[in-house]
Structure 1
């Protein structure tokens, strides 16, 4: 099972007078991950090291630490705990005592691990995307049943004739939901598998 974070989380520790703050959050796209990094990086800190993973895409950055001692261990923590669509930022204020390459790897990777372990996990479910239309009178009945079928509304656009919906559906529940749509719209709206 693959998970993301339900809510942002934080972990702080001091290692040999260096202060580390680890921040982690869900990121459903590379742009969202970069926006998180840009928002929470501290320009007064000595280093802002980070990693993110979104599907098959990933990036990491050592931000001036010796190569492979910060970003790579953070990414290893993300992958090792079965996370996807997650960004982790570790901010370090240097305390005057060098940690060595092994110590840095343990500090960055360990902080990321502890932060992710403390976070609330949310299972990622594969979804198929489809579009449908319903009349205004049908919309409240439809919305009342969405969670029952594990369906998310990605976008809704109100028109003169009703509402156009972009939906994300758990593929295992697609046929059941297609039947519900046919019933609610009296056969007018038939969903077909993509």
Structure 2
């Protein structure tokens, strides 16, 4: 199959501390839904650690792991955000953000030292959380007449689909989550029911 329909992520935040030659690196890891989540996270950490010298971060989102961003926050280019991101890549994680807060200890660590410190702080933060596997699901909205309800519900039940929303009246509407690898089969079954309208909503 060309498209992997599972991905690895986390569900809870975690943190760690790593020290090197007087500098303290605090790693914070968060599950995120969008790259705009990072603003609030960094703002929160800056207010909790106003005396820290750097708040460096990397994030990776989307089930196909295609979207990423890095920020060195004043550290030499490539010594902070990139090692954090590389650690996320090596663990194959997505929908995740890691911020490493650094308190400078007076001794310069040099480029290799910085790369190592940001990498280790990220590794340690990841050890503090549980990594889980999720499936890539498409959300569909299905509209149908009340008379078709039994047929529609039978498909939802037989394919073990997650029902996100349901409205039953003369005209009925349900929103369902369908795993990527199941989409073709489920759509085939639903299309066989007369008068059913199907609309793709989003991918989770």
User: If the TM-score is normalised by the length of the shorter chain, which range does it land in?
Assistant: 0.7 to 0.9
Aligned pair partner of 1:44 in 45, 51, 66: 51
User: In the alignment, is residue 124 of structure 1 matched against residue 129 of structure 2?
Assistant: no
Q: Which has the higher strand share?
A: 2
User: Can you list the C-alpha shifts for 1:61-99, whole angstroms capped at 9, x where unaligned?
Assistant: 111111111001000001111101110000011111211
Partner of 2:37: 32
User: In the alignment, is residue 98 of structure 1 matched against residue 78 of structure 2?
Assistant: no
The number of equivalent residue pairs is 187
Query: What TM-score, normalized by structure 2, do the two folds share?
Result: 0.72
Counterparts in 2 of 1:158 and 1:191: CA distance versus 1, 3 Å: closer
Query: What TM-score, normalized by structure 1, do the two folds share?
Result: 0.75
Contact map agreement 2:144 2:197 (CA 8 A) in 1: no
Partner of 2:3: none
Q: Gaps spanning 5+ residues in structure 2: where? A: 1-5
* Aligned mates of 1:86, 1:75 — CA distance in 2: 10
User: Can you list the C-alpha shifts for 1:10-55, whole angstroms capped at 9, x where unaligned?
Assistant: 1112221111110111112111233323333333211000000113
Aligned pair partner of 1:62 in 63, 72, 76: 72
Question: Which of 1 and 2 has higher RCO (CA within 8 Å, sep 6+)?
Answer: 2
* Aligned mates of 2:177, 2:50 — CA distance in 1: 39
